[in-house]
Amino acid sequence: MENKVSVGLLGLGVVGSGVIKLIENHQEKLAHQLGCSVQVKRVLVRDLDKSRDVTIDESILTTNPDDVLNDPEIDIIVEVMGGIEEAKQHISRAFAAKKHVVSANKDLVALHGPALQNAANRNKCDFYYEASVAGGIPILRGIADGLSSDHIQQVMGIVNGTTNYILTQMDSEGVSYEDALKAAQELGFAESDPTSDVDGLDAARKMAILARLAFSTAVDLEDVEVTGIRGIELEDLQYGYQMGYTMKLIGFANFDDHELEVNVQPTLLAKSHPLAAVKNEFNAVYVYGEAVGETMFYGPGAGSLPTATAIVSDIISVIKNMRLGVTGNQFIEPHFKKELKTPDKRHAQYYVRIYAKDQSGVFSTISSLFHEREISFKRILQAPIMKKEVAEIVFITHHTTLENFQEALENLGGLDTVLEVKSYYKVEGDAIT
Ligand code: NAP
Ligand code: HSE
């Protein structure tokens, strides 16, 4: 192998600039680890005249993808341009030209990751995408290498910084959802169009990638059930707080008896749970393995340099594989056939808030409705009467199946004494109050 490896960058925005800086600043360390230098040779951008967040020799910038993808000296393509179709075409072309690829693109990997991995393998190329999940946290390596000897049963993640920032601000400062979102946009955490963050799609993409690796199953994006945080009311965070819980957007993936459940939903998490301490824009992934027990990986889920660390570590892995002549060996067919759990096999606790008539017998009607479906209550709280003859009641159930809970909820709304089911959320963990 030559004493220099050349890299082509597709994109020079937030992440691409971080990659340039990290490679430049860590030349000595890279040379020591790899026995060669790493050079960024060409960079694809949209606009040659744009001012950049990094000092760069402008002659290496191009708006023509061929200049990067057809350069015979470039061994590794780093895709940090985002989007789906164009990025997919460029990556496919890179594999066809026997170039290795490192990508940060969770949208693309969630949708087309297995097909691209297959193409990489056919061409004896590497395809790494550590930065696509939880930015600077080395969670994919943690699962694929660090825990490869274990049988992973559960993965829970706070994998979207924008929503975690919003919920933390609502919880700790008592600000409304709208005000917290505005603050997140002003601080640059949330996009100007924050739809995929607040509606949970960004987290769903990351959970699909995590679940595939953790459970060696062909999880598709459409297998992930998604509910976002839009419309969450402060009242629910406040009642949760009183009962020992904090609201988080949790990505949940569980695999037992060879059956799978993956979802993203706002969840009231016991304050004693390790993920409850993850605040503001930080991310964390909690992994439960049969042998290892509880583990948690914590850190920045986005940002220029944190995300660049994941990319440059992927570049290092590729170069080490090149040196050993073992590239293109990552792809392993999923070990387990995909079987999704039906609602009668999905167990959880639930929080419900209702408005009911303030009259005798209301509690007993509600509790017998739940009792008929073998659901018992863990906590019940009646708030002060809001207006004449209307009571606000909050309760948390013990574990039940999703099927029983959905039936009970449907019938609850039909009771004469219940004026409105205001909200309901999944509950995780046991609160100590
Ligand atoms: P960004 O700041 O918008 O940068 C995108 C870059 O790609 C820009 O330099 C842009 O060129 C270039 N580009 C986009 N479309 C192009 C096209 N059709 N032709 C040529 N150049 C094109 O995006 P980013 O935040 O760096 O994110 C890049 C990727 O990393 C995305 O997949 C994102 O999901 C992922 N990611 C980002 C973060 C983060 O913290 N930002 C964290 C984890 C993963 P111009 O500069 O000329 O416009
Ligand atoms: N929009 C994402 C977040 C950026 O808020 O976490 C990193 O993927």
Q: Calculate how far, in angstroms, residue 10's C-alpha sits from the geometric centre of ligand 1.
A: 8
The one catalytic residue among 206, 248, 341, 426: 206
Q: Tell me whether residue 220 is in a domain.
A: yes
- pTM (predicted TM-score): 0.96
Among 28, 11, 31, 24, smallest CA distance to 319 is for 31
Contact indicator for 10, 45 with CB cutoff of 8 Å:
no
Same domain, 313 and 410: no
pLDDT of residue 433: 64
Cα gap 212→286, rounded to integer Å? 16
Pocket test of ligand 2: the residue of 189, 285, 309 to mutate, having most ligand atoms within 8 Å of its CB, is 189
- Supply the range of the domain harboring residue 387: 343-428
12 ligand 1 Cβ < 6 A: yes
- Residues of the chain falling short of pLDDT 50: none
Give the ligand at the shortest distance from the Cα of 11. 1
407 ligand 1 Cβ < 6 A: no
305 ligand 1 Cβ < 6 A: no
pLDDT of residue 1: 60
The Cβ-side half-sphere exposure at 289, using a 13 Å CA radius, reads: 15
Please give the number of the atom of ligand 2 that sits closest to the Cα of 203: 6
The two three-digit tokens of residue 24, written as one number: 């430049």
Pocket test of ligand 1: the residue of 15, 56, 93, 116 to mutate, having most ligand atoms within 8 Å of its CB, is 15
Q: Tell me whether residue 332 is in a domain.
A: no
Same domain, 127 and 180: no
198 ligand 1 Cβ < 6 A: no
**Pairing assessment for the beta strands 400-401 and 347-357 based on DSSP bridges:** antiparallel
Q: Which amino acid is at 429?
A: G
Q: Calculate how far, in angstroms, residue 15's C-alpha sits from the geometric centre of ligand 1.
A: 7
Contact indicator for 362, 245 with CB cutoff of 8 Å:
no
The Cβ-side half-sphere exposure at 18, using a 13 Å CA radius, reads: 20
Same domain, 149 and 295: yes
Pick the last residue of a domain from 299, 332, 360: 299
Give the ligand at the shortest distance from the Cα of 82. 1
Same domain, 169 and 257: yes
Same domain, 47 and 190: no
Q: Tell me whether residue 99 is in a domain.
A: yes
Q: Tell me whether residue 102 is in a domain.
A: yes
Q: Tell me whether residue 331 is in a domain.
A: no
Same domain, 216 and 316: no
Please give the number of the atom of ligand 1 that sits closest to the Cα of 50: 47
Pocket test of ligand 2: the residue of 165, 166, 202, 309 to mutate, having most ligand atoms within 8 Å of its CB, is 202
Same domain, 171 and 286: yes
> For atom 8 of ligand 2, which residue has the closest CA?
302
- Give the domain CATH number at 210: 3.30.360.10
How many beta carbons lie within 10 A of that of residue 3, not counting itself?
Answer: 9
**Pairing assessment for the beta strands 293-300 and 259-270 based on DSSP bridges:** unpaired
- Give the domain CATH number at 78: 3.40.50.720
Contact indicator for 194, 209 with CB cutoff of 8 Å:
no
Please give the number of the atom of ligand 1 that sits closest to the Cα of 48: 47
Q: Which residues pair with 350 in a beta bridge?
A: 426
Please give the number of the atom of ligand 1 that sits closest to the Cα of 105: 32
Same domain, 108 and 85: yes
Same domain, 157 and 287: yes
133 ligand 1 Cβ < 6 A: no
Contact indicator for 110, 211 with CB cutoff of 8 Å:
no
Q: Tell me whether residue 253 is in a domain.
A: yes
Q: How does pLDDT run across 284-298, given as a tens digit for each residue?
A: 999 999 999 999 999
Q: Tell me whether residue 433 is in a domain.
A: no
pLDDT of residue 185: 86
| 3-state SS, one letter per residue, for the chain | CCCEEEEEEECCCHHHHHHHHHHHHCHHHHHHHHCCEEEEEEEECCCCCCCCCCCCCHHHEECCHHHHHCCCCEEEEEECCCCCHHHHHHHHHHHHCCCEEEECCHHHHHHHHHHHHHHHHHCCCCEECHHHCCCCCCHHHHHHHHCCCCCEEEEEEECCHHHHHHHHHHHHHCCCHHHHHHHHHHCCCCCCCCHHHHCCHHHHHHHHHHHHHHHCECCCHHHCEECCCCCCCHHHHHHHHHCCEEEEEEEEEEEECCEEEEEEEEEEEECCCHHHHCCCCEEEEEEEECCCEEEEEEEECCCHHHHHHHHHHHHHHHHHHHHHCCCCCCCCCCCECCCECCHHHCEEEEEEEEEEECCCCHHHHHHHHHHHCCCCEEEEEECCCCECCEEEEEEEECCEEHHHHHHHHHHHHHCCCEEEEEEEEEEECCCCC
pLDDT of residue 331: 67
CA torsion through residues 404, 406, 411, 412, sign: positive
Same domain, 38 and 180: no
Count of domains forming the chain: 3
Q: Tell me whether residue 329 is in a domain.
A: no
Same domain, 181 and 132: no
Give the ligand at the shortest distance from the Cα of 106. 1
Q: Calculate how far, in angstroms, residue 377's C-alpha sits from the geometric centre of ligand 1.
A: 49
Measured from CB, residues less than 6 Å from any atom of ligand 2 are 135, 160-162, 189, 197, 202, 301-302
Q: How does pLDDT run across 52-65, given as a tens digit for each residue?
A: 999 999 999 999 99
| 106 catalytic residue (yes or no) | no
Q: Calculate how far, in angstroms, residue 82's C-alpha sits from the geometric centre of ligand 2.
A: 13
Over its C-alpha atoms, the chain yields an Rg (Å, rounded) of 24
Same domain, 261 and 370: no
- Give the domain CATH number at 411: 3.30.70.260
